[in-house]
Structure 1
Amino acid sequence: MAIETLQELFRQLSGHGHKPAVIAFQKKGAVTWSFGKLAHAARCLGAGLTTAGLRPGDTVGLFAPNSPEWVAACFGAIHEGIVPVLIDAQMGDDDLRHVAADSGIRWLFTTRRQLHRLERLGLRRDLRPILLDAEQDDELSWQRFSSDAKTTPASAAPEDIAVLFYTSGTTGAPKGVPLSHRNLASNLQGILDLHMVGEQERFLLPLPLHHVYPFTIGLLTPFGAGAPVIFPLSLTGPELLRALREGRATFLVGVPRMYEALFEAIETQVRQRGRMVYGLFRYSLDLAAALRRRSDFAVGRHLFAFLHRHFAPDLRMMLCGGAMLAPDLAFKLAGLGYDLATGYGLTETSPVLTFNVPGRSRLDTVGAPLAGVEIRIAEPAAEHGEVLARGPNVFSGYRNLPDLNREVFTDDGFFRTGDLGYLEDGYLRLVGRASEMLVLSGGENIRPDHVEEVLARGPHIKEVAVLEKNGRLAALVVPAPGATREGGNLDALIRKDIETQSASLPSHHQISDYVITPDPLPRTHLGKLRRFELDAIYEQAKQKGKAAASELGPLPLERMAPEDRELLEEPNARQVWQWMAERFPDVRLTPGTHLRMDLAVDSLEWLTLTLEMGTATGIELDQDAISRVQTVRDLLREAAAASTGTGGEAQDLLARLAQPEALLDEDQRRWVEPPGTWSSALGILLFGFDRWLMERAFNVSAQGLERLPSKQPFILVPNHVSYLDAMAIAAVLPREMLLRTSWAGYIGVMFRNALMRQVSRSTGTFPVDPKRGPLASLALGVLALHRGNNLVWFAESGRSESGELQPFESGIGLLLRAAGVLAVPAWVGGTYMALPVGSWLLRLRPIEVRFGTPATAEELEREGHGKRPEQRIASALHDRVARLGSGSGT
């Protein structure tokens, strides 16, 4: 029986009884609502609205993130004929005021967090809130608002308004889009009639329900089939994987940006397994994708079975909407063995107009029209024209905008979508937005998205937006991660990229001017450019000149993408963001800032950074979380999902480091055990060769050897400018002292292959591995000292590229406090001239090693500066090493 209204869909829900309807993941476990519980809660909420005086056709707001309570409130309103207004929880202040006034809402389902915002904006006095996240005894709780009163709601007619959406605001203030029961029900029925979805499926929905695409495809469709919907705790990678696995999701509802990130994460994990594995993966994927391009022959599910088992064993279908999925990525995902269902539509069309059905899809198009939908091209004789649509799913007009409504429909009732495209064998191909076409002074029509796609291929360009300025094309360019660190000539790098990429474009598509901005371009939740904001951003960057790219300080909250603003509402994420802004005041800090390429955080600095974060914020990340972090956004997401407590405090860290064996597994502990006879002999030979080479090739010499403690372990803390530093120190240490000295070596250099691992084992070098977590590396150092060995620890973040002494990381302070041994500062001079960073050409230059006066942690703490003891120790050691280098200290 066909569904004609959403009230009919609601009445079917209770028939599924105790079957799960909504599974919402929480920090621990998940909350499951059955269809029966959901239907009961919705009826009670709907009755509460009627008791409060609302009548059919009135509006009620929903201003909250996805939850079972959100779904109950929405269906409760629909059950009573009341129109739910679905509001973006990340909507800007001006847009929120506009929507509240335009929709006429007086009651609002929301959360305590959003309630504070309503109070700040002065909207609380006009709206009566019902909190979806409050306890039952709270006077604003949805449970206290619910009513057991028996109501007999009037049956809605198909043409009655069911839900009021607001457009995401890519071209100005959000427009109200009222969708009728017929609009939504016909679209739902058209999807169900494709027979893709059965009651055995399980839908993972990470997208917010205030958009019509996730509302129709991610909520109504599974409910229409009697299948459950799964809400992840957050949009972090770990939480999505957790929901996919533990929720046993078979369908994933996403947008192109999400699938791009998903594929990048898969590639990153495979790449970490080594070049051979990654090369085999790429070759196999190219083969599988090519087969899917040319046939329906699918081998990916079997070829990449290991990946499916690791990633999400039950996932088989990926649904993509909101924007077109790039064909190359679509075929790669298909090549991996996933079924893909892509489509095209707008809020005004409920939303699906065309659909690519697995088995007869053409992933280089947006699909064929859904049953009951008519697609027409406005200028059929031209190469392409505006896409026009008509059907029961197409709305009847915007709310309170009669003049605009007269413009958006043709005389025979077709809706002007604003998109340009053409039909090919019954499938629709899109080429751009008519409203985004740029007209130059010579009359040329330019599709900006095409030019942007070409320019973005430049290696130093992260993203780019093209706009018209004074009758010519101009570009707003966001540099790629790492581009700002290629010397001080960022402008020249961007200019070269634009010139190189533009060579393939016609002359009238060439860029006449550009400006550089450090901030991400403004986008909607679905990843679409908010083009109406570009002109102001361009002018602002133009006034600042090229220096705009090096703007310092954290990105203001109002200029962030909606999902980043939402992320920073999490207390842990906000705390880490504020700490990062203090920690890196001399850079432009954005959620997309890359820790390694933009902030030069690697090896020991990453180890120390996580320790500092723990002591400063009380937020700890385990080694799995640390291994997933590449950008500030990754760090914020992991922090949001992490626990907070005393575990990150310095005193607790010291207590744990006092028993280092407990922090290490057997494989880690063996690195500080005495090597076997053969390895020891090899170590003696290696040290002997090193001494011979350094003396003859570099005339190595030492000052202050007499200062080295001979009867107790100590930590030697030198500067670090070259791979030759450790070799120089080893060449001048007395032989008996050298054989009982351990070295901290970065895993990416000293342990990258079997030969280097054997060299490390023979010379007493243990691995500093950021992926293992900071405590593991520090614990290895403490354990080596407890075993009676000395320790050489490079306290900078890595080798200095300039040869200048860099700040010392606070990990050395924690290490000294935990081990209770003396610290000996040291200066290695001449190695930077002999073998600087980035060079493999040895230059025979004299090398000198200077050893300073030993000091205790207490002495250093009194000398140094910083907020915490370990920072003061690191600061004092840095100054002592600097004085050794200048020859003004001992």
Structure 2
Amino acid sequence: MTIQSLINKLAADCGDRTFLIAPESGEQLSFSQLRERVAQVSAQLDAMGCGAGEHVAMLMDNGQWTATLLLALMASGRIAVPLNAIAGDSQLEYVLEHCDANTLFASPQHLERARALGNGVERPVSVVPTCPDRGPQWSTKAEAKNAPLSAVEPDDAALLMYTSGTTGKPKGVLLTHRNVIAGGLNTVEAHALSKEDRGLCVLPLYHINAEIVTLIAPLISGGSVVMPHRFSTSTFWELVREHRCTWFSVVPTIIAYLLERGDSRETNVKGNPDYAQVRFGRSASSALPASSHKAFEQEFGIPLIETMGLTETAAQILSNPLPPFQARYGSPGIAYRNEVRVMTEHGQQAARGEIGELLVRGDNIMREYYKNPQATAESLDSDGWLHTGDLGYQDDEGFFFITGRLKELIIKGGENIAPREIDDTLLQHPAVLEAAAYAIEDEKYGQEIMACVVFKSGQHASVEELIGFCHQELGKFKSPKSIHIVQWLPRGPSGKVQRLKIANMLEELMEEQHVVADRA
């Protein structure tokens, strides 16, 4: 199966059924209309000299045409390259140069930036102004009626995604049609998605979570998706209610924001028949603190399913089962349609409860890191296993638990300490909204523990109180030596905290005098 064959089948079998809803404009796109747009985009790109097999970049915010264009590029045999709209100019210029795209679609608010980026690339780059709601402003009009599409095979490249790059330059993850479809199928099976389901997509379409989970998975299941321009706490539940969404996919940061608003009783979700159709909410992209998980379910009365996925795995690899199964708090779940195992540093399969690196194998695993054979060889072994760099263990019932990243592990006095253990402790303090522990060099211990916290609105605690709280819960050895109180934490496009960038962030904040508290 390919994206092209999938869209063709849906257009033939249920062409009049709604696939995509744009709440701002009120427009709805059927499967037949989606197929027509694929032909239209393909014909226009052919007229521009951008044929099948070409890489085409996108610098766009969410909207119905953003989603349509992403699917049309893949379905017509091009390779879609979504660019992270919140990345810095130097990173975007590197990605645009590296990805070999000669065409760049850009939203109006990113148009000037896109042209500047194109001018910074050695090869010519054609920038196409594209409204997320109304579509591209083509320089010429091509005849799309009955325009044939190039044949697409499952192992053809479909999507080129660049990782956020916690250190060094971002790597390009090249996914085939087989990978993309497998990633979507993993989600469909884990969440039992059907044509009756309607998802809400509030995550950016330049991230793998939104692309595979809330766009490709509904396409595979024959369901539908609501695609607002962006996430907003003030409209989130209204969109769920108005469009009768049965599920949504969010990240822990959004969950924290919804809880803050829920605590103010400005929402009325729990027990409200207007939300009776909601089967579950889904959390992914970074670890979900157990305290937030429990608080969400208690506040809103909606089951929350914690999952785990990577760009390299076309999103989801693990998921908790659906209700009536009771959520395994703190665990992203079990494997669906792919293999996941834990390996020790000596290359042996870990015993249950023993910490090691997570390895993944399946049709969803990327083809390669684009133009980076060394990184590919380091991550993909000869047996097809992807070495994720994530540390964790599997319990006696088969559920996986993530303890950290190999590169982020704190090694204090020879003892391995998972930063997440410290995060979870700080998040239990009633004033703390977000927390992130990280390592600094130390003459005595080799590495010492530091942490940053963001307070809930209207809440505060002293640094001494926070450290004392950690001493009580963790003991002095595992507690942060210092805690910085900040307004924000550095994050990648998925919302995952980038611990290795915290030290640089603090230096910049100190220079700008934005740090409101320092060393205890």
1:221 partner SS: helix
CA distance in 2, matches of 1:542, 1:264: 28
CA distance in 2, matches of 1:178, 1:257: 27
- Code of the residue aligned with 2:306 in structure 1: it is T
The Cα of 1:387 is off from its aligned counterpart by 0.7
Cα contact 1:67–1:231 (8 A) shared by 2: yes
State the structure with more CA Rg. Answer: 1
Alignment-derived partner of residue 285 in structure 2 = 322
Cα contact 2:63–2:133 (8 A) shared by 1: no
Q: 2:11 aligns with which of 5, 8, 14?
A: 14
The Cα of 1:494 is off from its aligned counterpart by 0.9
Alignment-derived partner of residue 467 in structure 2 = 498
Distance 1:152 1:263, change over 3 A: same
Q: 1:112 aligns with which of 105, 108, 117?
A: 108
Cα contact 2:450–2:480 (8 A) shared by 1: yes
Give the TM-score normalised by the residue count of structure 1. Answer: 0.52
The Cα of 1:331 is off from its aligned counterpart by 4.0
2:438 partner SS: strand
The Cα of 1:386 is off from its aligned counterpart by 0.6
CA distance in 1, matches of 2:419, 2:65: 42
Alignment-derived partner of residue 363 in structure 1 = 328
- How does 1:703-852 map onto structure 2 within 5 Å? none
The Cα of 1:322 is off from its aligned counterpart by 1.2
Distance 1:501 1:510, change over 3 A: closer
CA distance in 2, matches of 1:68, 1:204: 13
CA distance in 2, matches of 1:237, 1:195: 24
Q: 1:549 aligns with which of 491, 515, 519?
A: 515
Distance 1:87 1:215, change over 3 A: same
2:167 partner SS: coil
CA distance in 1, matches of 2:377, 2:48: 37
Alignment-derived partner of residue 185 in structure 2 = 189
CA offsets, 1:816-836, max 9 Å, x none?
xxxxxxxxxxxxxxxxxxxxx
Cα contact 1:248–1:313 (8 A) shared by 2: no
The Cα of 1:149 is off from its aligned counterpart by 5.9
Alignment-derived partner of residue 128 in structure 2 = 130
Cα contact 1:134–1:142 (8 A) shared by 2: no
2:6 partner SS: helix
CA distance in 2, matches of 1:135, 1:349: 30
Alignment-derived partner of residue 523 in structure 1 = 491
The Cα of 1:187 is off from its aligned counterpart by 2.5
- How does 1:233-272 map onto structure 2 within 5 Å? 233-269=229-265
CA distance in 2, matches of 1:56, 1:455: 51
CA offsets, 1:741-798, max 9 Å, x none?
xxxxxxxxxxxxxxxxxxxxxxxxxxxxxxxxxxxxxxxxxxxxxxxxxxxxxxxxxx
Cα contact 1:64–1:114 (8 A) shared by 2: yes
Distance 1:450 1:106, change over 3 A: same
Alignment-derived partner of residue 533 in structure 1 = 501
The Cα of 1:433 is off from its aligned counterpart by 1.4
Q: CA RMSD of the aligned region, Å?
A: 3.1
1:443 aligns with 2:441: no
2:414 partner SS: coil
Q: 1:398 aligns with which of 369, 380, 394?
A: 369
The Cα of 1:176 is off from its aligned counterpart by 0.5
Cα contact 2:64–2:133 (8 A) shared by 1: no
Cα contact 2:104–2:114 (8 A) shared by 1: no
Q: 2:2 aligns with which of 5, 9, 32?
A: 5
The Cα of 1:64 is off from its aligned counterpart by 0.7
Q: 1:420 aligns with which of 391, 394, 398?
A: 391
- Code of the residue aligned with 2:402 in structure 1: it is L
CA offsets, 1:50-97, max 9 Å, x none?
232223321001211122212222222222211011112222111111
The Cα of 1:404 is off from its aligned counterpart by 1.5
Distance 1:244 1:153, change over 3 A: same
CA distance in 1, matches of 2:106, 2:286: 28
CA offsets, 1:363-409, max 9 Å, x none?
32211111243434335147211111111111132112222222113
Alignment-derived partner of residue 306 in structure 2 = 342
CA distance in 2, matches of 1:54, 1:221: 28
2:131 partner SS: coil
Distance 1:412 1:124, change over 3 A: closer
Give the TM-score normalised by the residue count of structure 2. Answer: 0.87
Alignment-derived partner of residue 353 in structure 1 = 317
Distance 1:356 1:453, change over 3 A: closer
CA offsets, 1:847-873, max 9 Å, x none?
xxxxxxxxxxxxxxxxxxxxxxxxxxx
The Cα of 1:527 is off from its aligned counterpart by 2.3
CA distance in 2, matches of 1:387, 1:344: 12
- Code of the residue aligned with 2:501 in structure 1: it is E
Cα contact 1:39–1:72 (8 A) shared by 2: no
Alignment-derived partner of residue 177 in structure 1 = 173
CA distance in 1, matches of 2:240, 2:453: 33
Which has more helix, going by share of residues? 1
CA distance in 2, matches of 1:398, 1:251: 32
- Code of the residue aligned with 2:2 in structure 1: it is T
Alignment-derived partner of residue 358 in structure 2 = 387
CA distance in 2, matches of 1:331, 1:496: 24
CA distance in 1, matches of 2:383, 2:234: 50
Distance 1:204 1:223, change over 3 A: same
- How does 1:78-97 map onto structure 2 within 5 Å? 78-97=74-93
The Cα of 1:518 is off from its aligned counterpart by 4.1
Q: How many residues align?
A: 501
Alignment-derived partner of residue 830 in structure 1 = none
CA distance in 1, matches of 2:510, 2:130: 45
CA offsets, 1:187-234, max 9 Å, x none?
223433457222122211111111111111101111122222111243
The Cα of 1:416 is off from its aligned counterpart by 0.8
- Code of the residue aligned with 1:413 in structure 2: it is G
1:472 aligns with 2:447: yes
- Code of the residue aligned with 2:387 in structure 1: it is R
Percent sequence identity is 25
CA distance in 2, matches of 1:135, 1:540: 37
Cα contact 2:82–2:206 (8 A) shared by 1: yes
Which has more strand, going by share of residues? 2
Cα contact 2:106–2:127 (8 A) shared by 1: yes
CA offsets, 1:6-31, max 9 Å, x none?
222121232322222211111xx512
The Cα of 1:450 is off from its aligned counterpart by 1.6
The Cα of 1:349 is off from its aligned counterpart by 0.6
Q: 2:49 aligns with which of 47, 53, 61?
A: 53
CA distance in 2, matches of 1:102, 1:476: 35
- Code of the residue aligned with 1:17 in structure 2: it is G
CA distance in 2, matches of 1:494, 1:388: 39
1:269 partner SS: coil
Alignment-derived partner of residue 648 in structure 1 = none
- Code of the residue aligned with 1:246 in structure 2: it is E
CA distance in 2, matches of 1:135, 1:234: 13
CA distance in 1, matches of 2:128, 2:511: 46
1:375 aligns with 2:341: yes
CA distance in 2, matches of 1:168, 1:479: 22
